[in-house]
A and B are shown apart, each in its own frame.
Chain A
Amino acid sequence: MIVMLKAEHLSFFLNGWALLEDVSFSLERGDCLFVIGPNGAGKTTLLRSLLRLHETGRYGGRVELAGRDAAALTRRELAKIASYAPQDGGAAPPFTVEEFLQLSRYPHIPPSGRLSGADREAVRRALRLTGLEGQSSALLRHLSGGERRKAYLAAALAQEAELMFLDEPAAFLDPRHEAELHRLLKQLNREQGLTVVTVTHNLNHALDAGGNVLALKKGRALFFGPGGELAYGGLAREVFDHAFSVLRHPVSGRPLLAADSL
């Protein structure tokens, strides 16, 4: 198998603080990884460190993307290997959905900015897959929170990279759209061998989606392994400092985690 993503002793320091410390894991082509952990555990910092997006601060350790040292790649090369859907913070970019997706073709286009037929097809495909065709000419800031999350995902899809980094793609989505999103990611993962790294707060999805889970706490990796193991051994309790009950799904019989009330 081809190793798509490998982190060796990855650390990130800002103003003398270690926001991420000694995180190691590796993913093969077509793997799925769910990054879980309490607020402020360093989940987003991990994604940004893997993509070397931090403007200030210092990295430690080593990251390999598709077999190449991330530190030695140009931004354009990196953007061709890995796409990114950041968290939705602050003001929405001042573009329509379609324009926003076209911008994601940046690593593939010449300096003139002219889009080729392949570029336009990639944008159309991303719109179709995320069901945003009807909203393609709406401004991002006029969309609802959920629709905007989908637009960010679509933009990452339009980037057409083998690795995808998604920061809480299901935030603000209603149950139906969340299920649709999961189905879409699974389909992309299975049919096209896309390697997907997702930051999520949905423990039960991480539990039974059939991928790996990386649990972070205070910048350190507490656990890396198959998601199914999350339900046992008090792991969730250790990660979140909170008690969980393990239930059984009445139909499928699969374990479910329910956070106990205080």
Chain B
Amino acid sequence: MFQSTSDSVRRVDCPSLKGEVSNHKEFLMNNTTKLRILMVCCLVPVVCAPFAGMSFISPGEIFATGSPDAEVFRRLRLPRTVAAFFAGAGLSVAGMLFQAMFRNPLATPFTLGISGGAAFGASLYVYLGAGAAFGVSGGIWAAPAGALLSMLLVWALTRSRGAFSTPVLLLSGVIINFFFSSLVMLLQYLSRADDSLRIMHWLMGSLAVPDIARVSDMVFVVLAGFVFVGRLAPALDLLSAGEELAASRGVEVGRVKLWVFLAASLMVGVIVSLAGPIGFVGMMVPHVCRRMLGRRHGLLLPGAFVLGGAFLVVCDLGARTLFAPAELPIGIITALLGGPFFLWVLFRGGGRGVML
């Protein structure tokens, strides 16, 4: 009670909170309009990205037959931009889903150990299928299987202590992530030198994909997952208000959580198998979306989808141009941006910013 009283006092004189109140009262622009504007803004970099790169390709050239630029555009840059967009979209949506379910902004594919499990699955595949490159299509299931395995482990660990607790969940996730990281290192140690190098490169994350079929596989899984969880948006709203409340309003909590888990793990697994474990996107983008669009998942999920996609497209553009002709692993770029961002979130407004 005293806490709330001081809250309402602070509401008046704390500038950092004013923005939030005005979000609902003074701003004439409602959240749906903001989502539309966000979508348009995100479209611009996505459309421009394939033309930019080491050398600029003019839009007029792309339809010319036989021109090398047109080939580069169609075979390399376009698939890569599509891959970046859907990888970013899928990771952000997965992050949004986990954060709603666990009511904790630190719940991301990374912190829950899912990326680690997926990395282990993919590395094991390389190790066992010795010689087979990541381009082989069968490998696309190794990472999702690892993702599901780690998710089940985290879940079982969390539930083993009776009632569900978020701190136990996050700790389990961190532990499982470490566990799988060491397994990946072990595999790397045991692998032949070229396999080991391949695993290492892949772990840094890259969207340079040789195979269009694998991009289309990922696009399909991410789109299907997104459409599927979109139908759960009202249930996710209630879950983010509390599980007991959600159940009392008619949400089959257990079933919704299971479906969301499966969908998110599958999306993350497929993305990781293609692009490597790209961190921080699943934490940064959902957070920015909540700041901009409010708390309703009917808006947040599409918002995270487009913003996450556009964000990774821009990061990937940086990865291939900043040190051209050399290419930076995209995981390094997102982590370099993500670390400071995380600290900024943590320390602005005395830690308030971290709350959902």
Interface, chain A (partner B; CB < 8 A): 15, 48, 51, 53, 55-56, 74-80, 83-84, 86, 90-91, 93-96, 99-100, 103-104, 106-107, 109, 111-113, 137-139, 141-145, 148, 159, 172
Given contacts A48-B244, A75-B253, 13 further A-B contacts (CB under 8 A): A55-B164, A55-B243, A55-B253, A75-B251, A84-B245, A86-B245, A95-B237, A106-B250, A111-B234, A113-B234, A142-B21, A145-B4, A145-B5
Most buried by A among B1, B21, B240, B245: B245
Question: Are A141 and B234 touching (Cβ within 8 A)?
Answer: no
Known: A93-B240, A106-B235, A139-B20. A78 touches B250 (CB 8 A): yes
For A76, the chain B residues whose CB sits under 8 A away are 250, 252
Shortest CB-to-CB span from B18 to chain A, Å, is 11
For A145, the chain B residues whose CB sits under 8 A away are 1, 4-5
**B163, B235, B248, B252: which contacts A74 (Cβ < 8 A)?**
B252
A135 vs B3: C-alpha distance when bound (angstroms): 19
Q: Is B65 an interface residue (CB 8 A)?
A: no
Question: Are B250 and A56 touching (Cβ within 8 A)?
Answer: no
Question: Are B24 and A106 touching (Cβ within 8 A)?
Answer: no
Which residues B16-50 have CB closer than 8 A to chain A? 20-21, 24-25
For A143, the chain B residues whose CB sits under 8 A away are 4, 8
Most buried by B among A80, A84, A113: A113
Q: Is B11 an interface residue (CB 8 A)?
A: yes
Closest to A158 in B: B249
For B233, the chain A residues whose CB sits under 8 A away are 113
Interface residues on B, range: 35 or more
Question: Are B247 and A53 touching (Cβ within 8 A)?
Answer: yes
Most buried by B among A77, A138, A148: A138
Which residues B264-309 have CB closer than 8 A to chain A? 294-296, 298
For B298, the chain A residues whose CB sits under 8 A away are 113
A83 vs B298: C-alpha distance when bound (angstroms): 24
A16 vs B244: C-alpha distance when bound (angstroms): 22
A253 vs B311: C-alpha distance when bound (angstroms): 72
**A51, A144, A159: which contacts B5 (Cβ < 8 A)?**
A144
**A55, A75, A106, A139: which contacts B163 (Cβ < 8 A)?**
A55
A93 vs B295: C-alpha distance when bound (angstroms): 10
For B249, the chain A residues whose CB sits under 8 A away are 79, 103-104, 106-107, 159
Closest to A93 in B: B241
Closest to B25 in A: A137
Contact with A along B226-237 (1 / 0, CB 8 A): 000001011101
Shortest CB-to-CB span from A151 to chain B, Å, is 12
Q: Is B61 an interface residue (CB 8 A)?
A: no
**A95, A111, A172: which contacts B231 (Cβ < 8 A)?**
A111
A-B pairs with beta carbons under 8 Å apart, 21 shown: A48-B244, A75-B247, A75-B250, A75-B253, A78-B250, A79-B248, A86-B244, A86-B248, A93-B240, A93-B245, A94-B241, A95-B237, A95-B241, A99-B296, A100-B241, A106-B238, A106-B249, A137-B25, A139-B20, A142-B21, A159-B249
Shortest CB-to-CB span from A223 to chain B, Å, is 27
For A103, the chain B residues whose CB sits under 8 A away are 234, 237-238, 241, 249
Question: Are A106 and B234 touching (Cβ within 8 A)?
Answer: yes
Question: Are A141 and B7 touching (Cβ within 8 A)?
Answer: yes
Shortest CB-to-CB span from A136 to chain B, Å, is 9
Closest to A156 in B: B248
Question: Are A144 and B8 touching (Cβ within 8 A)?
Answer: yes
**B11, B231, B245: which contacts A142 (Cβ < 8 A)?**
B11
For B1, the chain A residues whose CB sits under 8 A away are 144-145, 172
